[in-house]
Amino acid sequence: MSAERPFIDKEHPTVYKALGKAAVASRAASHEAGLGDDTIELINVRVSQINGCPTCLSIHLPKARKAGVKESALDVLPAWREAGVFTDEQKAALLLAESLTVIDPTVDRQAINARAAAHLTTAQISAVEWTTTLINAFNRVSIASGHPVLAR
């Protein structure tokens, strides 16, 4: 850590703790909506892959395995559309997560949500979007800070 690149979570711990509390609330809301930890962790891993956050990948890949996501599914996660190993619920969640991570003004978000609604309830869509928003925030905290990969 240096003055030019501080660990922003350490520099302003109150803000980081609030982000952590939001993540706890989001996971609880996801569970209430009927989403399992497997789907939550698939979102966390996929968004972290897109953002190139090695710290968050070192946290969420083990959590995904612990949540029951098979290694073979994690191996093909970047190609989830073609892989044929994810449930309709997981594919809908990944579609939403990707569309909210890479904001493309040419993408019709209403159409994306309508596609997702074929497999997710309104509460589940909201929960997926909260999960996505928060992992994006954590990715940015770690990338801004230059956090290291966590050792196992």
> What local confidence, expressed as pLDDT, does residue 122 receive?
98
pLDDT computed for residue 3 by the predictor: 66
Taking every pair of C-alpha atoms in the chain, what is the biggest distance, in angstroms?
A: 49
Q: Look at residue 1 and give its three-state secondary structure.
A: coil
Domain ranges within the chain, ordered by starting residue: 36-145
Kindly report, residue by residue over 71-93, the tens digit of the pLDDT: 999 999 999 999 999 999 999 99
What count of other Cβ atoms lies within 10 Å of the Cβ of residue 134? 21
Q: Which residues contact 152 (CB under 8 A, 6 or more apart)?
A: 58, 62
For the chain, the first-to-last Cα distance in angstroms comes to 21
Triad 45, 81, 68: Cα angle to 5°: 45
Of 138, 109, 121, nearest to 43 (Cα)?
Answer: 138
Model confidence at 105: pLDDT above 60:
yes
pLDDT of residue 151: 86
| Both tokens assigned to 119 | 């497999």
pTM metric for this prediction: 0.96
User: Which tokens is 62 given?
Assistant: 């083990």
Q: What is the pLDDT of residues 108-123, one digit of tens each?
A: 999 999 999 999 999 9
d(CA 140, CA 127): 20
pLDDT digits (tens, 9 = 90+) for 3-48: 688 999 999 999 999 999 999 999 999 999 999 999 999 999 999 9
- CATH number of 36-145: 3.20.20.120, 1.20.1290.10, 3.40.190.10, 3.30.465.10? 1.20.1290.10
The yes-or-no verdict on residue 135 having pLDDT over 70 is yes
Closest C-alpha to 35, from 79, 80, 96:
96
CB 3 within 8 A of CB 54: no
Q: What is the mean pLDDT of the chain?
A: 96
